């Protein structure tokens, strides 16, 4: 029984196409997960600093190792988290207590400028 090499080649080509498609799907899934992590980090960065994360920084972080991105995310999360009060306000009815580090810094800057101007 002679072997039809054209059919064998067609089967091998179909198998190669199938494996290429699987590999591309896995790569696309990895890119999507990496992009989701970078988007979450960019949100925390914006919350902590009040500014959007620059596009070149996003691109560089997208190429970084997963552990590096997780470390930076944890640092940004700590900076963006709400400030815990250590006691009661010195003045009853004091409102406008800062909820983030950025708000506290802005309020302190405003108080300093008002003190300088008075």
3-state helix, strand, coil in the chain (%, to 5): 75, 0, 25
* More confident position, 31 or 17: 17
77 exposure class (CB count in 10 Å sphere: 0-12, 13-18, 19+): middle
Give me the percent of the chain exceeding a pLDDT of 70.
84
pLDDT band for 13, please (50, 70, 90 cuts).
very high
At 48, the pLDDT band (50, 70, 90 cuts) reads confident
pLDDT value of residue 46 = 83
Confidence of residue 89 (pLDDT cuts 50, 70, 90): low
| Main-chain phi, psi angles of 83, to 5 degrees | -80, 130
Interval 44-54 mean pLDDT: 83
Amino acid 41: pLDDT: 85
| Confidence bin at 20 (pLDDT 50/70/90) | very high
């Amino acid at each position: 029984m002679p072997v039809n090499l054209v059919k064998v080649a067609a089967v091998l080509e179909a198998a190669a196409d199938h494996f290429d498609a699987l590999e591309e799907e896995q790569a696309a899934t990895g890119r999507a997960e990496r992009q989701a992590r970078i988007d979450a980090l960019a949100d925390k960065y914006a919350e902590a600093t009040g500014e959007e994360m620059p596009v070149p920084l996003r691109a560089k972080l997208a190429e970084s190792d997963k552990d590096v991105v997780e470390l930076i995310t944890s640092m940004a999360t700590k900076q963006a988290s709400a400030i815990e009060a250590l006691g009661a306000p010195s003045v009853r009815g004091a409102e406008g207590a800062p909820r983030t580090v950025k708000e506290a810094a802005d309020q302190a800057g405003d108080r300093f400028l008002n003190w300088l101007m008075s």
